[in-house]
Structure 1
Amino acid sequence: MVTDTLDIQISKAETSRFTQIDFNNLPFGKHFSDHMLVADYADGQWQNFQILPYGEIKMNPAMSVLHYGQAFFEGLKAYKLQNGQISVFRPYKNATRFNKSAERLCMPQLPEDLFVQSIAALVEVDQQWIPEQENHALYIRPFMFATEAALGVHPSSTYKFCVLTGPVGPYFSKYLKVKVETEYSRACDGGFGFAKAAGNYAGSMLPMKKAAEEGFDQLIWTDAREHAYVEELGAANIM
């Protein structure tokens, strides 16, 4: 049940980049749709929800996120069904996880209805970007970061929420060769490994780089205490 109604100002792009994209060759995360959604958090509330032409965001060099890392993201997909309808997979599940990340990083939560409505509005504007090929989708990347321009280790007073979308093919194009990681840890007791924080991914890059140099595609992360128990595979499910 929707309890919050979202007022979004929409400014359409003058020209579309849609015809410039080869939809038969879609590497993951390289192409973005014509528009993005942005909103601001200030004075204790979310405001200024806008859909704008995709483009750069101005940043102050003292912006808190650049120094203290208050940033996290989510990822979900929209599909075009056989009957032509558009379906976004489990958006409320992502909304719940989004807010768990926000809470752990001492950032403001976004009401779940507003999270879902933001995504729905952006997908509707750029629905032509949803691929129709099998195993393809419109990837949706919501994220939040701190924007207060002040130094000092404390939670920012202002934040920005953004949503990007882009057409994607399969994340992996082959079977994976994986390595069981027993030196580095991705998460630990009392930490924030469960949050989709930007810093969590930065910390995984060195062990991933070393694994790639050894010929592996992904890591199976083990527990931080003993490295004896499987926790997760980096970018896919494991059974």
Structure 2
Amino acid sequence: MNSSSASSYTLFDHLLELRSRLLNVVVGVLIVFLGLFYFANEIYEYVSKPLMETLPEGGQMIATDVASSFFAPFKLTMVLSIFIAMPFILYQIWAFVAPGLYKNEKRLVIPLMFGSTLLFYSGIAFVYYVVFPIIFAFFTSVAPEGVNIATDITSYLDFVLKLFFAFGVVFEIPIVIILLCWTGFTDPASLRAKRPYVVVGAFVVGMLLTPPDIISQTLLAVPMLLLFELGVFIASIYQKKNESEEA
């Protein structure tokens, strides 16, 4: 702890503080959810738009379960509420750990929280506006002749949520690099030396997360490489600043 008041906290005090922060998170997400629930069907229609625009004439989405027409939009709205409340959630996390941080650590944590939120949203926007139109056009174009494409709304939701989460996490690469360098686990020079392996790894990940065509793989691999370079660049600036302060 960096102060006598913080160090005087007992375990029970920390548990009470943790409970308070968790309750704040639950209430915040619930408020957002209540504001969005009325528009649940419209939200689902918007998320399904990339697929609907690529379906051939006569193609449609179906609900194979009796209650899926209700639960699919409900689930999507709940997940969206968590995504929208992410800045508030991250603030509650920061407020809980802040008393145990030193002053220089606090200066780094706040930009990291803001950057991680922005990058996570950027990953979701990228997969929705860039990746979805390409992969759905590919999937619908390779359907055998005479096959009527009718995607189940629950299966579609599970698929897009997985990609939303995957790309949101992938776009956190700069934050991960900065944290690794900050903790001393690695340094920018070592990461630059491993650049050839990073290039190969980026295209492997692109191959696993996208359809088997070079365009889709490149659409994911190139942003990953750019984010890697951005993380190394920021970590280098932070390292030089620390060295100058120590000198």
Fold equivalence (TM over 0.5): no
Q: Which has the higher helix share?
A: 2
TM range (shorter): under 0.3
Q: Which has the higher strand share?
A: 1
